[in-house]
Protein backbone atom coordinates (compact mmCIF):
# COMPACT_ATOMS: atom_id res chain seq x y z
CA UNK A 1 0.00 0.00 0.00
CA UNK A 2 1.25 3.50 -0.81
CA UNK A 3 0.53 6.47 1.44
CA UNK A 4 0.97 10.18 0.78
CA UNK A 5 0.67 12.68 3.63
CA UNK A 6 0.61 16.41 3.08
CA UNK A 7 2.89 18.78 4.95
CA UNK A 8 0.25 19.59 7.57
CA UNK A 9 0.07 15.92 8.53
CA UNK A 10 3.84 15.47 8.59
CA UNK A 11 4.29 18.46 10.89
CA UNK A 12 1.40 17.58 13.22
CA UNK A 13 3.58 15.63 15.70
CA UNK A 14 5.61 18.81 16.27
CA UNK A 15 2.58 20.95 17.16
CA UNK A 16 1.44 21.74 20.70
CA UNK A 17 0.04 18.45 22.00
CA UNK A 18 -2.13 19.93 24.76
CA UNK A 19 -5.25 19.83 22.54
CA UNK A 20 -6.75 16.32 22.38
CA UNK A 21 -7.50 16.57 18.65
CA UNK A 22 -3.90 17.52 17.88
CA UNK A 23 -2.65 14.67 20.05
CA UNK A 24 -4.90 12.09 18.34
CA UNK A 25 -3.90 13.30 14.88
CA UNK A 26 -0.24 13.22 15.89
CA UNK A 27 -0.54 9.66 17.13
CA UNK A 28 -2.14 8.62 13.83
CA UNK A 29 0.71 10.18 11.84
CA UNK A 30 3.34 8.56 14.05
CA UNK A 31 1.63 5.18 13.71
CA UNK A 32 1.56 5.46 9.92
CA UNK A 33 5.26 6.37 9.88
CA UNK A 34 6.10 3.40 12.10
CA UNK A 35 4.09 1.09 9.83
CA UNK A 36 6.05 2.35 6.85
CA UNK A 37 9.23 1.13 8.53
CA UNK A 38 7.93 -2.25 9.68
CA UNK A 39 5.49 -3.40 7.00
CA UNK A 40 4.70 -3.20 3.32
CA UNK A 41 3.46 0.36 3.66
CA UNK A 42 5.35 2.76 1.38
CA UNK A 43 5.48 6.48 2.02
CA UNK A 44 5.30 8.62 -1.09
CA UNK A 45 6.94 11.99 -1.38
CA UNK A 46 6.79 14.80 -3.89
CA UNK A 47 8.75 17.80 -5.06
CA UNK A 48 5.97 19.94 -3.61
CA UNK A 49 6.64 18.52 -0.13
CA UNK A 50 10.37 19.13 -0.47
CA UNK A 51 9.76 22.70 -1.64
CA UNK A 52 7.20 23.48 1.05
CA UNK A 53 9.34 22.04 3.82
CA UNK A 54 12.43 23.85 2.54
CA UNK A 55 10.62 27.15 3.00
CA UNK A 56 9.97 26.52 6.69
CA UNK A 57 11.87 29.14 8.72
CA UNK A 58 11.95 26.85 11.78
CA UNK A 59 15.17 24.92 11.17
CA UNK A 60 14.54 22.26 13.83
CA UNK A 61 11.06 21.48 12.52
CA UNK A 62 12.29 21.50 8.92
CA UNK A 63 15.07 18.99 9.69
CA UNK A 64 12.74 16.71 11.67
CA UNK A 65 10.24 16.58 8.83
CA UNK A 66 13.05 15.89 6.33
CA UNK A 67 14.10 12.93 8.43
For the chain, give the longest Cα–Cα distance: 34
Tens-digit pLDDT profile for residues 19-63: 999 999 999 999 999 998 888 888 999 999 999 999 999 999 999
Coil, helix or strand for 67? coil
> Which domain does 39 fall in, by range?
2-66
DSSP E strand stretches across 1-67: 2-4, 42-44
| First-last CA distance in the chain | 21
pLDDT of residue 57: 94
Query: Structural domain tally of the chain?
Result: 1
Amino acid sequence: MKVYMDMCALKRPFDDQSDSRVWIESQAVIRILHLSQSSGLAMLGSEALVLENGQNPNVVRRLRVET
